[in-house]
Amino acid sequence: MKSVNRFMLVAALAMPFSGCAEGPEPNAVETISSAVVQSDTTKAHEPADPSEQKADEMPPEPAPTEYNELTNFEKYVILEKGTERAFVGEYTDLKDPGTYICRRCNAALYKSDDKFSSDCGWPSFDDKIEGAVEETPDEDGQRTEITCKNCGGHLGHVFLGERMTKKNTRHCVNSVSMKFIPAGKELPPVVKKPAESKPEEVPEQG
Ligand SMILES: [Zn+2]
């Protein structure tokens, strides 16, 4: 045991000296040069890394141009002017503070401040967010349809003169046409469809 220990001690003492005398060992050189190469690669790589560029300065996000995906039932109401059954919509009795936006395009339509209990079975508002809702008389003249001004999606109907509130107006809106954003939460960006591009002119033949 003792002799082994002594040998190891000698070997350990001898190694640093032999290292100094012979200069850097081949292995050490290799390690250094590969380290240099590696750091060079890293540097060359930095500007091209998109994730790092993003962190430096975020370019303003372009407005989305594709409407939100709709379920079949949402399509039925919003695109085909259907009506959900009374008293089953998710927002009929909701009284939380917040904003109701269009389910299809995110445009802000109604404020919870204007929502009231009408007992009609659908969310009811006696006012809309200015400029957000289009009112169009039905063909039969019986009712007035309300649609999202931004995307044209069907919301419901507006009734006047019912004396339910001081404003004497009731926007009767399908829950499924809207999405509720609680107060304090950021509204998602409104989807703006690019203006319909003109159909390419087809040269007349003949
Ligand atoms: Zn819309």
Q: Which residues pair with 133 in a beta bridge?
A: 148
The rounded Å distance from CA 101 to ligand 1 centre is: 8
Residue range 72-182 forms a domain whose CATH class is: mainly beta
Q: List C-alpha distances in Å: 116 to 85, 99, 109, 163, 173.
A: 19, 14, 15, 12, 12
122 CA to centre of ligand 1 in angstroms: 19
- In angstroms, the CA 120 to CA 163 distance is 14
**Model's pTM, two decimal places?**
0.67
Beta bridge pairs of residue 98: 182
Asked if residue 5 lies in contact with residue 11, where contact means CB atoms within 8 angstroms, the answer is no
The CA 66 to ligand 1 mean position distance, Å, reads 11
pLDDT of residue 198: 53
Domain boundaries, the chain: 2-56, 72-182
| CA 102 to ligand 1 centroid distance, Å | 5
- DSSP secondary structure letters along 21-56: HH-S-HHHHHHHHHHHHHHHHHHHHGGG-HHHHHHH
CA 19/CA 10 separation, integer angstroms: 14
pLDDT at 172: 98
Q: What is the pLDDT of residue 118?
A: 96
Per-residue model confidence (pLDDT) at position 18: 42
* Catalytic residue IDs: 172
Please tell me the distance from the alpha carbon of residue 8 to that of residue 199, in angstroms, as a whole number: 88
Cβ(185)–Cβ(169) below 8 Å: no
Cβ contact 175:86 at 8 Å:
no
pLDDT of the chain, 206 residues: tens digit per residue: 444 445 444 444 444 444 444 444 444 444 444 444 444 444 444 445 554 555 557 777 778 899 999 999 999 999 999 999 999 999 999 999 999 999 999 999 999 999 999 999 999 999 999 999 999 998 888 999 999 999 999 999 999 999 999 999 999 999 999 999 999 999 999 999 887 655 555 566 55
What pLDDT shows up at residue 86?
A: 97
Which residues does residue 156 pair with via DSSP β-bridges, in sequence order?
146, 173
